[in-house]
């Protein structure tokens, strides 16, 4: 057995709040971002990429506040290869005890063509922008975007320039998830062998999951000498997402015999943060997702169950409690008190202030009046629905009555509170949900198109709560909304309104966030 204290440390760089949030529809509110950042810091993540400060006023404020509140984690802000971006990123992260600027430019032939820079011109831009960043901050990460499709010679050349200009971490993004594990290792090995000064900086790996190889590629890069993994909770991120934090952390733990590296992450905090990220991003975790999926530790088949009872190791390579999954599924009911609710919610990762608890307790009692037994999943759905409603929301559902059945037309009588004023209407539609959505549209006109409408039963039984997810699109901007209720139509109305509220927040975001992959260098 190797002495673990002597094993190489691999830094965990979490980009849930930047690359993860960039995923269409995953917009988080300001307070949600602060909460996720705090959880990441507490669980021992080394670097938190908190956002892209030039993208919008909202991003800037979130990164600044996360920086101010940070404890041990380094706080990083993203910037294109532009002085204005870099200055703005520094303005936001400078409040952290350990600030970092991450600047990038696309170096592959396809990406060089966008700003129409030849190799020499781009090399100059890299030198100038990295030097500019280093004059502001001594912790600089530089990324050649689409590195894995950049010519080897040019990659070595620009990395050498970035190191000489002051970069302390060089990140190798597999931007389109194109690499395979052997290649991922070869690139790092080649860079360590060929680039002067490579031994003085840290190489990072940043993989996307388009071919389902992000985790394998990240681990292969570490084996070849990378010492920072960039990842997101639940693998959230554009398209097929980024490397999942929980997968690399647990792989390094469970297979420490063949991958003798340590991270600083407390794995027992994984389940809670996974649930929170799923709730606030509106991206549910697939049931069979490694480590954090609902079925990741479920054993249905008789043979498996029998084996598990005799010796858990027959079919389990890690214990559920290692990732913070508690086995109790304590059932609560209408006689449960506030203290029991607080304790149960705390087990599930929801730490509430007294005021928040007061609000949630009222909703819990309302639910308990309608539903005999309240399971953990009900509480998670209840919290998700509470999260969905923010004080700053412009629109709220006040009341809803629907007429449905075999003889149409189905009809919805709806009252919304919009900017503090109650407005009511009645609308018909093809079914009660359609009628309700038509009523929302009549009361709050918008051009947004419904892209997805999904209903899940939270638990079993006819009194189960329904969780409804809605995804809407307006001028290329996407927002998701969620809600839960024992009445599916009420949950639908609230989810729709929740998505609308998020879309209104999203409208305030300006172009650079969408532009990130086609960023050009102009000043
Ligand atoms: O995938 C990517 O290339 C990125 C860069 C901005 C680092 O996210
Ligand atoms: Zn990325």
Atom of ligand 1 nearest to the CA of 143: 7
Closest C-alpha residue for ligand 1 atom 1: 175
Cα radius of gyration (the chain)? 24
**Residue 417 bridge partners (DSSP):** 396, 422
Q: Which one-letter DSSP state was computed for residue 258?
A: T
CA of 345 to the centre of ligand 1 (A): 36
Q: Which of 52, 143, 514 maximizes ligand 1 atoms within 8 Å of its Cβ, making it the mutation to test the pocket?
A: 143
Atom of ligand 1 nearest to the CA of 206: 1
Residue 427: is its pLDDT beyond 90?
A: yes
Q: How many CB atoms lie within 10 A of CB 375?
A: 18
Atom of ligand 1 nearest to the CA of 18: 8
Atom of ligand 1 nearest to the CA of 176: 1
Helix H, strand E, coil C: the string for 326-379 is: CCCCCCECCCCCHHHHHHHHHHCCCCCCHHHHHHHHHHHHHHHHHCCCECHHHH
Closest to 498 in 3D by CA, of 397, 421, 417, 400: 397
Return the ligand number nearest the Cα of 103.
1
Residue 303: is its pLDDT beyond 70?
A: no
Identify whether the C-beta of residue 37 lies closer than 8 Å to the C-beta of residue 494.
Answer: no
Return the ligand number nearest the Cα of 204.
1
CA of 291 to the centre of ligand 1 (A): 25
- 3 state DSSP class of 289: coil
Give 374's pLDDT tier (boundaries 50, 70, 90). Answer: confident
**Residue 410 bridge partners (DSSP):** 429
Overall average pLDDT of the 333-353 stretch: 83
Q: What is the pTM of this model?
A: 0.80
CA of 8 to the centre of ligand 2 (A): 25
Give 403's pLDDT tier (boundaries 50, 70, 90). Answer: very high
pLDDT in tens, 174-218: 999 999 999 999 999 999 999 999 999 999 999 999 999 999 999
Closest to 203 in 3D by CA, of 121, 262, 144, 271: 144
**H/E stretch holding 387:** helix 376-388
Overall average pLDDT of the 334-362 stretch: 85
Q: Which of 24-28, 186-190, 325-329 shows the highest mean pLDDT?
A: 186-190
CA of 173 to the centre of ligand 1 (A): 6
Higher pLDDT, 301 or 119: 119
Return the ligand number nearest the Cα of 235.
2
CA of 141 to the centre of ligand 1 (A): 12
Closest to 209 in 3D by CA, of 230, 233, 237: 237
Overall average pLDDT of the 470-487 stretch: 84
| Residues framing ligand 1 (Cβ under 6 A) | 19, 104, 143, 145, 173, 175, 206, 208
Structure tokens at 134: 């280093």
In a 10 Å sphere around its CB, with 0-12 CB exposed, 13-18 middle and 19+ buried, how is residue 333 labelled? exposed
Write out the E strands in 180-262. 202-207, 228-231, 261-262
Residue 251: is its pLDDT beyond 60?
A: yes
Euclidean distance between CA atoms 404 and 3, whole angstroms: 67
Overall average pLDDT of the 72-86 stretch: 98
CA of 17 to the centre of ligand 1 (A): 13
Closest C-alpha residue for ligand 1 atom 2: 175
Higher pLDDT, 462 or 61: 61
Give 1's pLDDT tier (boundaries 50, 70, 90). Answer: low
Return the ligand number nearest the Cα of 146.
1
User: What residue has token string 């909703």?
Assistant: 363
Q: What is the share, in percent, of the chain residues with pLDDT greater than 90?
A: 64
Q: Which of 51, 104, 146, 169 maximizes ligand 1 atoms within 8 Å of its Cβ, making it the mutation to test the pocket?
A: 104
CA of 46 to the centre of ligand 2 (A): 18
Q: Which of 162, 184, 206 maximizes ligand 1 atoms within 8 Å of its Cβ, making it the mutation to test the pocket?
A: 206
Return the ligand number nearest the Cα of 147.
1
* Protein residues near ligand 2, an ion, with CB under 5 A: 19
Closest to 437 in 3D by CA, of 393, 402, 388: 402
CA of 485 to the centre of ligand 2 (A): 36
Residue 23: is its pLDDT beyond 60?
A: yes
Looking at beta carbons, which pairs linking 335-343 to residues 24 or more positions away fall under 8 Å?
336/364, 336/368, 336/374, 341/379
Higher pLDDT, 482 or 224: 224
Atom of ligand 1 nearest to the CA of 145: 3
Identify whether the C-beta of residue 154 lies closer than 8 Å to the C-beta of residue 122.
Answer: no
Overall average pLDDT of the 332-354 stretch: 83
Closest C-alpha residue for ligand 1 atom 8: 19
Euclidean distance between CA atoms 472 and 452, whole angstroms: 7
pLDDT in tens, 50-73: 999 999 999 999 999 999 999 999
φ and ψ at residue 342, rounded to 5 degrees: -60, -45
Q: So what's the pLDDT on residue 6?
A: 82
Closest C-alpha residue for ligand 1 atom 5: 145
Q: So what's the pLDDT on residue 389?
A: 62
User: What residue has token string 């609560």?
Assistant: 332
Overall average pLDDT of the 305-329 stretch: 76
Could you give the count of Cα atoms lying within 13 Å of 322 in the half-sphere of its Cβ? 14
CA of 250 to the centre of ligand 1 (A): 24
User: What residue has token string 């009809």?
Assistant: 411
Q: So what's the pLDDT on residue 327?
A: 60
pLDDT in tens, 129-147: 999 999 999 999 999 999 9
Give 510's pLDDT tier (boundaries 50, 70, 90). Answer: very low
Q: What is the share, in percent, of the chain residues with pLDDT greater than 70?
A: 92
Q: So what's the pLDDT on residue 340?
A: 85
In a 10 Å sphere around its CB, with 0-12 CB exposed, 13-18 middle and 19+ buried, how is residue 480 labelled? buried
CA of 252 to the centre of ligand 2 (A): 22
């Amino acid at each position: 057995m190797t002495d673990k204290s002597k094993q190489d440390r691999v830094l965990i760089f979490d980009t849930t709040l930047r690359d993860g949030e960039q995923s269409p529809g995953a917009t988080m509110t300001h307070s949600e971002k602060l909460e996720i950042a705090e959880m990441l810091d507490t669980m021992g993540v080394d670097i938190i990429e908190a956002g892209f400060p030039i993208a919008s006023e909202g991003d800037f404020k979130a990164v600044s506040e996360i920086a101010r509140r940070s404890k041990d984690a380094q706080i990083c802000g993203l910037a294109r290869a532009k002085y204005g971006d870099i200055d703005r990123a520094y303005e936001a992260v400078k409040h952290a005890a350990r600030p970092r600027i991450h600047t990038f430019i696309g170096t592959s032939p396809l990406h060089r063509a966008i700003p129409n820079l030849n190799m020499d011109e781009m090399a100059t831009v890299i030198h100038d922008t990295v030097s500019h960043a280093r004059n502001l901050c001594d912790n600089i990460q530089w990324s050649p975007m689409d590195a894995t499709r950049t010519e080897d010679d040019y990659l070595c050349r620009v990395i050498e320039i970035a190191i000489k200009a002051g970069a302390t971490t060089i990140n190798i993004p597999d931007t389109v998830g194109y690499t395979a594990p052997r290649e991922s290792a070869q690139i790092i090995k080649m860079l360590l062998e060929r680039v002067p000064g490579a031994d003085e900086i840290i190489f990072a790996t940043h993989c996307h999951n388009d071919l389902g190889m992000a985790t394998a590629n990240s681990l292969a890069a570490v084996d070849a000498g990378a010492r920072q993994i960039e990842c997101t909770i639940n693998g959230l991120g554009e398209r097929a997402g980024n490397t999942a934090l929980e997968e690399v952390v647990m792989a390094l733990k469970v297979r420490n015999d063949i991958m003798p590296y340590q991270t600083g992450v407390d794995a027992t905090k994984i389940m809670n943060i996974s649930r929170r990220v799923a709730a606030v991003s509106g991206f549910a975790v697939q049931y069979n997702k490694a480590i954090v999926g609902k079925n990741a530790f479920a054993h249905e088949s008789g043979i498996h169950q029998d084996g598990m009872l005799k010796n858990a190791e027959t079919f389990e390579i890690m214990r559920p409690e290692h990732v913070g999954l508690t086995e109790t599924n304590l059932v609560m009911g209408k006689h449960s008190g506030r203290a029991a609710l607080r304790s149960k919610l705390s087990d599930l990762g929801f730490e509430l202030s007294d005021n928040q608890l007061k609000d949630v307790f009222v909703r819990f009692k309302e639910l308990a009046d309608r539903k005999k037994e309240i399971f953990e999943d009900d509480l998670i759905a209840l919290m998700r629905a509470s999260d969905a409603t923010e004080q700053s929301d412009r629109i709220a559902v006040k009341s809803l009555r629907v007429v449905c059945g075999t003889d149409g037309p189905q009809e919805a009588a709806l009252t919304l509170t919009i900017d503090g004023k109650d407005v009511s209407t009645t609308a018909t539609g093809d079914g009660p949900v359609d009628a309700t959505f038509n009523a929302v549209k009549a009361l709050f006109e918008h051009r947004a198109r419904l892209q997805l409408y999904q209903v899940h039963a939270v638990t079993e039984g006819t009194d189960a709560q329904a969780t409804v997810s809605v995804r809407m699109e307006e001028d290329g901007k996407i927002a998701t909304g969620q809600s839960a209720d024992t009445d599916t139509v009420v949950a639908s109305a609230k989810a729709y309104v929740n998505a609308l509220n998020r879309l209104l927040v999203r409208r305030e975001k300006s172009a650079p966030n969408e532009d990130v992959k086609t960023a050009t260098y102009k000043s």
